[in-house]
Amino acid sequence: MGYEIAGGLGAKMALPDRDVISWVGDGSYLMMNSDIYASVLNDHKVIYIVLDNGGFAVINRLQTAQGGAEFNNLLRTTRHTRLKRVDFVKHAEALGATAELVESVADLPDAYARAKASPETYVIVMNVSEYTWVGGGTWWEVGVPQVSRRDEVVAARGQYEAEVKHQRDGF
């Protein structure tokens, strides 16, 4: 987490004649956003697409898929005294980039055309769901506790052991 912005800048530095597009979640954006400023300062144009799902929804999904209860990943469910969402468009603009908010996936092609035509780093922001995911799945092996009183963890451990056995049997 947190490498997408710096990685996009590094790719542009290594391949200055190519378009570089980097997809980044709002949580990762908050970890390493200063390299947007570096891309602006050094004329290394990168197109960043920021998907704002209100925190670390991918980590939240991983946590619950392992049988854990949701804890401290989504901004609205964290302990806070005043929830204030980041305006990623304004923030990117404050770093010197051009930025815009798109309302839906259908708006992405036109926004991308504007970003591609722009001579400078461009940030496209889109709000997305915390819980709805597209097909295709992901793979990220994270161990599941062997001992737990939570039925969800016991079930996740059984699934984990079955998958690990299958991986080992395949070799």
Domains of the chain and CATH, by start: 4-135 (3.40.50.970), 141-171 (no CATH)
The mean pLDDT of 104-122, rounded to a whole number, is 97
Confidence grade of residue 66 (pLDDT, cut at 50, 70, 90): confident
Q: What is the mean pLDDT of the chain?
A: 87
Predicted confidence (pLDDT) at residue 162 exceeds the cutoff of 70:
yes
Whole-model pTM over 0.85: no
pLDDT at 97: 98
Q: In the numeric block, which tokens belong to residue 19?
A: 């378009």
pLDDT at 112: 98
- The answer to whether 119 and 45 are in contact (CB under 8 A) is yes
Predicted confidence (pLDDT) at residue 58 exceeds the cutoff of 60:
yes
The residues near 74 (Cβ < 8 Å, ≥ 6 apart) are: 53, 54, 55, 56, 57, 60, 130
Compare 146 and 57 and report the one with higher pLDDT. 146
- The answer to whether 70 and 77 are in contact (CB under 8 A) is yes
Confidence grade of residue 134 (pLDDT, cut at 50, 70, 90): low
Phi, psi (rounded to 5 degrees) for 94? -65, -25
Confidence grade of residue 121 (pLDDT, cut at 50, 70, 90): very high
What percent of the chain has pLDDT above 70?
A: 90
Nearest-angstrom CA–CA distance, 49 and 8 = 11
Would you give the DSSP letter of residue 70?
P
Predicted confidence (pLDDT) at residue 165 exceeds the cutoff of 80:
no
Predicted confidence (pLDDT) at residue 7 exceeds the cutoff of 90:
yes
> Hey, is 7 helix, strand or coil?
helix
Predicted confidence (pLDDT) at residue 149 exceeds the cutoff of 60:
yes
The one-letter code for the residue type at 156 is A
Looking up tokens 């309302």, which residue turns up?
A: 103
Nearest-angstrom CA–CA distance, 38 and 15 = 16
Q: In the numeric block, which tokens belong to residue 77?
A: 């469910």
The mean pLDDT of 108-136, rounded to a whole number, is 90
